[in-house]
């Protein structure tokens, strides 16, 4: 495993293909631009209105100052909408050659051959390739890009859209609400259990282009779905912004799992609002892996509205040189007998900063609820830093909150031990790091686990000695 390490000194997935987009919005953010985008997409009036209201909220809200420094983001110098081709590719043959090449380098076609149920691959702002297995269709599962879902299922869409993350939630949720494009829409009908993971690949491929995808997942009563997204991004010279919104609605007795591995290039501001709402006896699982980016702010959240809900939030964050990863989790327990488990694994190296920032809120009706928070940090050198910032709010008695935090360094003794069996210092360090994140890796589908191990191995290169 540890031998299988990419050796190039360039960022491995940092390749760029020539730009094939046919429409590119002018830089900057205006009401006219938003009306244009909405028109071009052929959206209903309510959505245009929604976007314009969100723009007002965005403009009115100050930049958040409680976390990492975001002052370098220049909102006037971002392209808010790029449409790669006039028509959506329905079959693989119709997908433009340049785009295929990018997917091939990411291994998409092979991955599909293996066990994908359906691929919804986002290229720039529009979904160009969207393939879903017949079987899922027959079971009533909807798996589309979000724009198409708005057209084809307008009522279902409107019923749930922005119900978990309103535009007023935060400045970047407002921005996303104003300019959103693409993303994934999933609806799983009552009692339907989708055993194979639904997967999508995201990728930014246009300089200075913000990516504002919007994902909405509804898992109806007693149903199950696992959605997997993996992201890799090319290296650019100027800063990019990624401000996504993800909403998941888990109905009574249902279970949803959302797995992400993000590996943004180190100029990307990755500011994502991910939130789920659980009804009674529903389970939400966030599995969230964060590598790369310049700044990441991401706190997958679960609002537990129904009794006996369950939230499992498992995350890793790896921060290297000039990177700030501010990640964590939030749970709001608003009903009795809920359970939340938060496991966070953070790694900082080469002067990087990685923080756990989390909130556990027991509302006044949360009696009998339990939360367990475990934050482990591994610091690889003396220049790197880490901070743990847990907030707890408890408004009722009869709840249990456990919090455990550890900070460790790769010890001389561990390295000596592994090296005394023939592993080089780099191999030994990698092994310790991989072991550290193993509780996360083991939850991933096999191919993602392999990719993550490779990315981590690559990240560890050059950080030794």
User: What's the CA gap between 357 and 362, in Å, rounded?
Assistant: 17
Q: Does 3 bind another protein (CB under 8 A)?
A: yes
User: What's the CA gap between 41 and 52, in Å, rounded?
Assistant: 15
Among 70, 431, 449, 464, binds another protein (CB under 8 A): 431
| Cβ closest to another protein, residue 113 vs residue 420 | 420
Min separation Cβ 457 and another protein, Å: 12
Distances (CA, A) of 111 to 98, 115, 135, 451: 19, 7, 18, 12
Let me know: does 260 contact 6? Beta carbons within 8 Å: no
Phi/psi of residue 28, nearest 5 degrees: 100, 165
Among 30, 77, 159, 424, binds another protein (CB under 8 A): 424
Min separation Cβ 451 and another protein, Å: 18
| Dihedral over Cα of 96, 99, 105, 109: its sign | negative
User: What's the CA gap between 257 and 261, in Å, rounded?
Assistant: 13
Q: Does 5 bind another protein (CB under 8 A)?
A: no
Min separation Cβ 417 and another protein, Å: 4
- β-pairing, 245-250 vs 240-242, is unpaired
Build a one-symbol-per-residue string for 359-398: x at contacts with another protein by CB under 8 A, - elsewhere.
----------------------------------------
User: What's the CA gap between 406 and 364, in Å, rounded?
Assistant: 30
Among 229, 427, 451, 459, binds another protein (CB under 8 A): 427
Matching residue, tokens 């050796």 = 7
Q: Is 411 exposed, middle or buried (0-12, 13-18, 19+ CB in 10 A)?
A: exposed
Tell me the two tokens of residue 132. 């879903």
Matching residue, tokens 């129904």 = 306
Q: Does 404 bind another protein (CB under 8 A)?
A: no
The piece of 175-183, 227-235, 349-357, 419-427 that touches another protein (CB under 8 A) is: 419-427
Reported in sequence order, the residue ranges of 136-280 that DSSP labels E, i.e. its strands, are 142-145, 184-188, 198-203, 214-219, 224-232, 240-242, 245-250, 255-264, 268-278
In the window 433-462, what residues touch another protein (CB under 8 A)?
434-439
Tell me the two tokens of residue 264. 């943004």
Among 168, 365, 396, 414, binds another protein (CB under 8 A): 414
The piece of 247-255, 315-323, 388-396, 410-418 that touches another protein (CB under 8 A) is: 410-418
Min separation Cβ 376 and another protein, Å: 9
Nearest Cα to Cα of residue 204 among 94, 288, 111, 126 = 126
| Cβ closest to another protein, residue 235 vs residue 449 | 449
Nearest Cα to Cα of residue 79 among 139, 133, 124, 109 = 124
| Cβ closest to another protein, residue 72 vs residue 446 | 446
Let me know: does 293 contact 321? Beta carbons within 8 Å: no
| Cβ closest to another protein, residue 45 vs residue 413 | 413
Q: Does 134 bind another protein (CB under 8 A)?
A: no
Among 17, 36, 207, 425, binds another protein (CB under 8 A): 425
Q: Does 421 bind another protein (CB under 8 A)?
A: yes
Matching residue, tokens 């339990």 = 370
Min separation Cβ 115 and another protein, Å: 23
Tell me the two tokens of residue 69. 């420094």
Min separation Cβ 463 and another protein, Å: 18
Min separation Cβ 402 and another protein, Å: 19
The piece of 58-66, 118-126, 351-359, 417-425 that touches another protein (CB under 8 A) is: 417-425
Q: Does 2 bind another protein (CB under 8 A)?
A: yes
| Cβ closest to another protein, residue 165 vs residue 432 | 432
Q: Does 322 bind another protein (CB under 8 A)?
A: no
User: What's the CA gap between 380 and 366, in Å, rounded?
Assistant: 39
Min separation Cβ 404 and another protein, Å: 14
| Cβ closest to another protein, residue 45 vs residue 412 | 412
Min separation Cβ 283 and another protein, Å: 25
Nearest Cα to Cα of residue 302 among 288, 313, 315, 290 = 313
Tell me the two tokens of residue 187. 């609806």
The piece of 73-81, 115-123, 246-254, 418-426 that touches another protein (CB under 8 A) is: 418-426
Min separation Cβ 135 and another protein, Å: 34
Matching residue, tokens 């589309």 = 144
In the window 251-270, what residues touch another protein (CB under 8 A)?
none
Question: Alpha-carbon dihedral of residues 249, 251, 254, 257, nearest 10 degrees?
Answer: 10
Binding interface with another protein (CB under 8 A): 1-3, 411-414, 416-425, 427-428, 431-432, 434-439
């Amino acid at each position: 495993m540890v031998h299988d390490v990419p050796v190039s000194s360039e960022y491995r997935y940092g390749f760029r293909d020539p730009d094939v987009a046919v429409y590119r919005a002018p830089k900057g953010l205006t009401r006219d631009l938003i009306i244009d985008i909405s028109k071009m997409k052929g959206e209903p009036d309510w959505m245009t209105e929604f976007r314009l209201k969100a723009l007002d909220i965005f403009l009115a809200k100050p930049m958040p100052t409680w976390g990492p420094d975001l002052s370098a983001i220049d909102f006037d110098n971002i392209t808010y909408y790029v449409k790669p081709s006039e028509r959506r590719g329905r079959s693989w043959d119709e997908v433009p050659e340049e785009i295929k090449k990018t997917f091939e380098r990411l291994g998409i076609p092979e991955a599909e051959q293996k066990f994908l149920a359906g691929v919804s691959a986002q290229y720039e702002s529009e979904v160009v390739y969207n393939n879903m297995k017949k079987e899922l269709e027959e079971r009533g599962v909807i798996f589309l890009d979000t724009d198409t879902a708005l057209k084809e299922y307008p009522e279902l869409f409107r019923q749930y859209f922005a119900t978990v993350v309103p535009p007023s939630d935060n400045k970047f949720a407002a921005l996303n609400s104003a300019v959103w494009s693409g993303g994934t829409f999933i609806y799983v009908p009552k009692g339907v259990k989708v055993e194979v993971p639904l997967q999508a690949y995201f990728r930014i491929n246009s300089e200075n282009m913000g990516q504002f995808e919007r994902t909405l997942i509804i898992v109806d009563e007693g149903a199950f779905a696992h959605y997997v997204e993996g992201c890799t991004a090319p290296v650019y010279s100027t800063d990019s912004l990624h401000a996504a919104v993800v909403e998941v609605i888990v109905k009574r007795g249902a279970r949803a799992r959302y797995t992400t591995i993000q590996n943004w290039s180190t100029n990307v501001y990755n500011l994502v609002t991910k939130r789920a709402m659980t009804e009674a006896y529903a389970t939400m699982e966030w599995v969230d892996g964060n590598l790369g980016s310049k700044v990441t702010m991401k706190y997958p959240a679960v609002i537990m509205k129904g009794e006996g809900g369950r939230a499992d939030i498992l995350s890793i964050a790896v921060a290297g040189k000039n990177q700030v990863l501010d990640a964590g989790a939030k749970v709001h327990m608003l009903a009795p007998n809920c359970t939340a488990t938060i496991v966070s694994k953070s790694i900082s190296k080469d002067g990087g900063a990685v923080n756990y920032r989390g909130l556990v809120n027991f509302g006044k009706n949360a009696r009998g609820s339990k939360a367990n928070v475990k934050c482990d940090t591994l610091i690889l050198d003396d220049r790197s830093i880490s901070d743990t910032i847990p907030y707890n709010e408890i408004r009722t008695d009869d709840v249990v909150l456990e919090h455990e935090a550890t900070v460790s360094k790769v010890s001389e003794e561990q390295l000596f031990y592994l090296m005394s069996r023939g592993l080089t210092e780099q191999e030994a360090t990698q092994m310790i790091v991989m072991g550290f994140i193993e509780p996360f890796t083991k939850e991933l589908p096999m191919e993602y686990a392999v990719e993550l191990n490779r990315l981590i191995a690559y990240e560890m290169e050059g950080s030794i000695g």
